[in-house]
């Protein structure tokens, strides 16, 4: 049904149109265009009639008939006030245009014939060939193209902080580290081979510093950034040794390849070797300093060597370091060694001194690798005498003020030496003035004779950690199910000729450094260490004498000979030879061990040196084949048996002065009093090896130095 039109100031319009128009242009504009009467008509529709009256009050009605009568809006009439504001006048009605068929006389239009409605609707058939178009996938938002970040010179790109720990579920990791009960027992051969295959051709040891450089995300960094990367992965000692501390000073950029090339010749980890000395080349006298009572053929001396084929690594002025405990083959470049054995005693036939122990004690070590001794003569000497980097040479007039105090400790002040300061060269280590030399060349000879070559490991804890890890790996390869270490009391009792201060230091070393490191490994795998008492009975005087006789017989069987040498020769040997700490000197004044003790004893006679330099001492020597044709062999002092002042022995038993061996034997027996109190508790500390540890130690190279994983430390604490 057609809508009734509404008359407005702009013409007649349907109500629906006016409603839409009012909604579109707004009330004010609508009234200005169509008039208030028109708005009154549509207002109930667009406003629900609620505001119609108020709008009309604001816009008073206009008599539409008057508007029609005058033909113009009332505001156009003189004297009439303005009714609308800014209203547009309606357009004039244009006259009718000329229509040819109407006004041109050509006759009326032909009638339009209406087409009848068909009885049936004609349906157009669907074109079967038409197929619906394939669906077009729309883009999931606007994608920003990736852009390469350009870093201006002099700026460093900060590493992205790994925040995965904030959302990562570490429940399983925590359980594995803390609560999971470890599985024990030696690995099967198949399990060992699987782990070794996973390791592949990776080296046995690696440097954390070298690894940090190699695995850096970028190829080029500034020196400061490289220093930060390396420092976070290794120790200051290794950085100093590799030269990185000084090399990475400054802000210049350097590539990964350039940096690796500069440090590769000092990377000792890649060239480190671990060797077991063949049984026929082992020093037979070391039995005196071992736990003993091992399973037959299982005692081994194992050396850790570096730099034998790597230029100047482990050398001082081109001379490689020589470990005094071993011959040239196994002592050259040897920075640490260990003595091991499998088993302790036999429950069916226990050693005489241990018959009081329960037979189960011996069974506990049936398949245990006992690490009887860990030592680094190199590091001990460096800590005592000073490493090469600790030594400094200054001409007299160039001595820094901070070192003047060390000069004053010599008994003379710089002012007292004012006349010859410029001609003197002062050699310092980190704690004292070592020597005043007449020339620069002589000063550096002092360093050559006294300094120890630098190492990336100078801390006792670090080398103990390295040796223990390697011994665990050896135990796993050999099919052992556990390892054990000695406590400090065993070592204290073993080196009875050593001074009390030194013995206490040795005891502390095993009870802290060695024990603490093994305990740290055990905690990481949720394993408890087991302390087992093996304290022996106090030996009688007769047993002590019998033990001495056995030791002397072993020396004779090994073709060692008892010889007399002068004080001068002994003095020369302690100056040109690295004497092991167990070297002992027996005299009427007492007994003591180590090169320092022997040197101090001889220097007590320094004022009368010319009178006593030809006095004699008893030493044991072994004959070593020489590499020179002119001298087919050379006699070398064996430091494993005591040195005895001959004049003291003769005064003690003059009737035996023509029989050196018996004189030497009697003097030692009479000088060695029987202990007058019970030994303190001796223990072996055993750690069962969980299979997880065994597999990991075979799969992964051992780090030369390492930083502790703080997260793991917190989890296992």
pLDDT in tens, 512-531: 999 999 999 999 999 999 99
**Residue 645: per-residue pLDDT:** 95
**Residue 93: per-residue pLDDT:** 47
Structural Rg of the chain based on CA atoms: 51
More confident residue, 77 or 12: 12
**Residue 508: per-residue pLDDT:** 96
pLDDT of 435 higher than 80: yes
**Residue 41: per-residue pLDDT:** 78
pLDDT of 234 higher than 70: yes
Nearest to 486 by CA among 277, 683, 700: 683
List Cβ neighbours of 49 (8 Å cut-off, separation of 6 or more): 43
Please tell me the distance from the alpha carbon of residue 193 to that of residue 475, in angstroms, as a whole number: 15
Please tell me the distance from the alpha carbon of residue 238 to that of residue 248, in angstroms, as a whole number: 14
Residue 715 phi/psi, 5-degree rounding, is: -70, -35
If you search the block for the tokens 């027992």, which residue do you land on?
A: 185
- Contact between 678 and 538 under an 8 Å Cβ cutoff? The reply is yes
Q: Average pLDDT, stretch 641-650?
A: 95
Q: Average pLDDT, stretch 316-331?
A: 85
- Contact between 669 and 172 under an 8 Å Cβ cutoff? The reply is no
Nearest to 572 by CA among 624, 611, 609: 609
pLDDT of 342 higher than 70: yes
Span 242-263, pLDDT tens digits: 889 888 998 899 999 999 988 8
DSSP per residue, 1-18: -PPPPEEETTEEE-HHHH
**Residue 194: per-residue pLDDT:** 92
Span 577-619, pLDDT tens digits: 878 888 999 999 888 888 888 988 888 765 678 888 899 999 9
Q: Average pLDDT, stretch 24-37?
A: 80
Mean pLDDT score across all residues of the chain: 78
**Residue 409: per-residue pLDDT:** 65
pLDDT of 641 higher than 60: yes
Comparing 104-118, 168-182, 219-233, 637-651, the range with the smallest average pLDDT is: 104-118
Q: Check the CA dihedral 215-220-224-225 and report its sign.
A: negative
List Cβ neighbours of 395 (8 Å cut-off, separation of 6 or more): 421, 422, 424, 425, 426, 440
**Residue 65: per-residue pLDDT:** 46
Instruction: Read off the tokens for 62.
Output: 């206009």
pLDDT of 319 higher than 50: yes
**Residue 431: per-residue pLDDT:** 84
- Is the pTM value of this prediction over 0.85? no
The Cβ of residue 430 has, within 10 Å, a number of other Cβ atoms equal to 11
**Residue 378: per-residue pLDDT:** 93
Which residues are paired to 205 by β-bridges?
A: 702
Alpha-carbon distance values, 396 to 402, 442, 676 (Å): 14, 14, 56
- Contact between 524 and 689 under an 8 Å Cβ cutoff? The reply is no
Q: What percent of the chain lies above the pLDDT cut of 90? A: 37
pLDDT of 446 higher than 70: yes
Span 670-682, pLDDT tens digits: 987 655 556 789 9
Q: Average pLDDT, stretch 267-284?
A: 87
pLDDT of 690 higher than 90: yes
Span 530-568, pLDDT tens digits: 999 999 887 788 888 888 999 999 999 989 999 999 999
pLDDT of 33 higher than 70: yes
Q: Average pLDDT, stretch 61-77?
A: 46
**Residue 3: per-residue pLDDT:** 73
Q: Average pLDDT, stretch 174-194?
A: 77
3-state secondary structure of 363: helix
Comparing 162-166, 265-269, 501-505, the range with the smallest average pLDDT is: 162-166
**Residue 100: per-residue pLDDT:** 52
More confident residue, 46 or 398: 398
pLDDT of 570 higher than 90: yes
**Residue 43: per-residue pLDDT:** 76
**Residue 399: per-residue pLDDT:** 86
Q: Average pLDDT, stretch 308-323?
A: 72
pLDDT of 190 higher than 60: yes
Nearest to 55 by CA among 35, 76, 82, 72: 35
**Residue 689: per-residue pLDDT:** 97
**Residue 356: per-residue pLDDT:** 87
Please tell me the distance from the alpha carbon of residue 291 to that of residue 537, in angstroms, as a whole number: 15
The Cβ of residue 617 has, within 10 Å, a number of other Cβ atoms equal to 23
pLDDT tier at 30, thresholds 50, 70, 90: confident
Q: Average pLDDT, stretch 637-660?
A: 94
- Contact between 513 and 488 under an 8 Å Cβ cutoff? The reply is no
**Residue 609: per-residue pLDDT:** 83
- Contact between 656 and 636 under an 8 Å Cβ cutoff? The reply is no
Q: Average pLDDT, stretch 221-238?
A: 89
**Residue 266: per-residue pLDDT:** 81
**Residue 500: per-residue pLDDT:** 87
pLDDT of 434 higher than 50: yes
């Amino acid at each position: 049904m057609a809508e009734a039109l509404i008359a407005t100031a702009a013409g007649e319009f349907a109500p629906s149109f006016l409603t839409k128009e009012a909604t579109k242009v707004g009330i004010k504009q609508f009234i200005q265009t169509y008039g208030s009467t028109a708005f009154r008509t549509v207002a109930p529709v667009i406003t629900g009639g609620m505001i119609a009256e108020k709008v009309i009050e604001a816009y008073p009605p206009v008599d539409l008939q008057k508007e029609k009568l005058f033909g113009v809006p009332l505001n156009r009439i003189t004297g009439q006030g303005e009714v609308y504001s800014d209203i547009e006048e309606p357009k004039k009605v244009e006259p009718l245009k000329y229509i040819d068929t109407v006004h041109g006389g050509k006759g009326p239009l032909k009638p339009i014939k209406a087409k009848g409605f068909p009885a049936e609707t004609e349906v157009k058939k669907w074109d079967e060939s038409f197929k619906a178009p394939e669906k077009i996938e729309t883009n999931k938002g606007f994608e920003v193209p990736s852009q390469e970040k350009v870093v201006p010179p002099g700026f460093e790109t900060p590493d992205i902080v790994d925040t995965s720990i904030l959302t990562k579920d570490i429940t399983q990791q925590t359980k594995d580290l803390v609560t999971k009960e470890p599985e024990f027992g030696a690995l099967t051969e198949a399990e060992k081979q699987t782990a070794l295959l996973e390791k592949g051709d990776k080296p046995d040891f690696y440097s954390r510093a070298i690894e940090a450089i190699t695995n850096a995300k970028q190829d080029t960094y500034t020196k400061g950034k490289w220093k930060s990367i390396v420092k976070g992965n290794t120790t200051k000692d290794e950085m100093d040794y590799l030269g990185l501390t000084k090399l990475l000073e400054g802000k210049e950029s350097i590539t990964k390849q350039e940096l690796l090339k500069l440090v590769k010749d000092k990377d000792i980890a890649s060239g480190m070797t671990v060797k077991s000395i063949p049984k026929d080349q082992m020093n037979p006298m070391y039995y005196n300093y071992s736990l003993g009572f091992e399973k037959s053929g299982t005692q081994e001396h194992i050396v850790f060597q570096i730099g034998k084929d790597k230029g100047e690594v482990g050398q001082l002025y081109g001379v490689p370091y020589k470990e005094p405990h071993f011959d040239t083959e196994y002592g050259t470049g040897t920075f640490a060694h260990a003595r091991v054995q499998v088993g302790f005693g036999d429950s069916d036939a226990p050693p005489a001194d241990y018959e009081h122990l329960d037979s189960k004690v011996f069974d506990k070590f049936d398949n245990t690798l006992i690490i009887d001794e860990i030592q680094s003569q190199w590091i001990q000497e460096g800590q005592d005498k000073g490493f090469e980097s600790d030594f400094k040479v200054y001409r007299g007039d160039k001595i820094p003020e901070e070192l003047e105090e060390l000069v004053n400790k010599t008994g003379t002040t710089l002012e007292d030496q004012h006349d010859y300061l410029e001609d003197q060269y002062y050699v310092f280590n980190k704690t004292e003035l070592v020597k005043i030399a007449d020339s620069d060349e002589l000063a550096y000879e002092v360093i050559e004779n006294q300094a120890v070559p630098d190492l990336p490991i100078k801390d006792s804890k670090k080398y103990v950690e390295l040796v223990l890890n390697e011994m665990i790996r050896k135990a796993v390869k050999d099919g052992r199910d556990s390892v054990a270490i000695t406590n400090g009391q065993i070592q204290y009792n073993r080196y009875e000729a050593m001074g009390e201060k030194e013995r206490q230091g040795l005891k502390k070393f095993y009870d802290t450094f060695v024990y603490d490191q093994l305990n740290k490994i055990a905690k990481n795998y949720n394993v408890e260490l087991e302390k087992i008492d093996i304290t022996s009975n106090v030996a009688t005087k007769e047993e002590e004498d019998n033990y001495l006789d056995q030791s002397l017989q072993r020396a004779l069987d090994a073709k060692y000979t008892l010889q007399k040498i002068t004080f001068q020769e002994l003095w020369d040997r302690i100056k040109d030879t690295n004497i092991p700490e167990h070297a002992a000197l027996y005299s009427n004044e007492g007994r003591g061990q180590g090169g320092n003790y022997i040197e101090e004893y001889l220097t007590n006679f320094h004022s009368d040196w010319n009178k006593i330099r030809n006095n004699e001492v008893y030493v044991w020597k072994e004959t070593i084949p020489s590499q020179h044709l002119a001298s087919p062999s050379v006699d070398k002092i064996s430091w494993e048996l005591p040195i005895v002042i001959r004049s003291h022995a003769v005064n003690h038993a003059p009737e035996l002065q023509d029989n050196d061996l018996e004189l030497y034997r009697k003097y030692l027996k009479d000088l060695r009093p029987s202990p007058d109190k019970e030994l303190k508790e001796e223990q072996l500390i055993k750690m069962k090896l969980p299979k997880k540890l065994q597999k990991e130690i075979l799969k992964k190279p051992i780090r030369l130095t390492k930083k502790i994983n703080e997260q793991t430390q917190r989890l296992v604490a």
